[in-house]
Structure 1
Amino acid sequence: MSNSSQYRLVLFISGASPNSVRALNNLKQICEIHLKGNYKLEVVDVYQQPELAKQEQIIALPTLIRKNPTPTRHLIGDMSDRARVLRGLGINPSDIAI
């Protein structure tokens, strides 16, 4: 698949907080199951890169931004609601055996 059709995701977290760790683990699992080989996940710790959080106007953590495919989508929370995350990524959960 070409890079332009690859999912590009940016997860903003706050260090090793429980919600941030949970969001990262949940998101990695979802991506490996549903997007295997077709995604790039960037993790941004707002404590280490506050300028990126400001640039993206992040107001809650953890926040996932789907940069590609467009349009850009924002999801907030620990990514534990798999159906909600899949919808946010533009994947119809009813089309996939979970």
Structure 2
Amino acid sequence: FIPERFIDGSGGLTSDTVDFVWGFGRRACSGRHLGEASVWAGMSSMLATFTFLPAQTPDGEDVAFKPKWFEGLPSHPLPFPFRMIPRVQGMNAETLTQLIQSSTVDEN
């Protein structure tokens, strides 16, 4: 991992998005910015609220796996085993459901 590859000559961040996925010119996807912002919001929310760890066997040992990728124009990882643990102690499905419902806008 070489994080400095994302820094340009002036010290700012480079754009690491893949333009060909969104199209070019008049055929460019009109929802590109909404799509990128939605993925960013979802990922940052998950990373802020959960710890992601390797899956475990029934004996409590971590499951070793080798990442595999779908090879195509938009390359993406194939499904893999993992576990998500809430970062806040005592968080359970009922509490999470209440938090989600309290943060949504009532349409009525």
Give the TM-score normalised by the residue count of structure 1. 0.28
Tell me: higher relative CO, structure 1 or 2? Use CA pairs within 8 A at least 6 residues apart. Answer: 1
Report which of the two has the higher share of strand: 1
Instruction: State the TM-score, normalized to the length of structure 2.
Output: 0.26
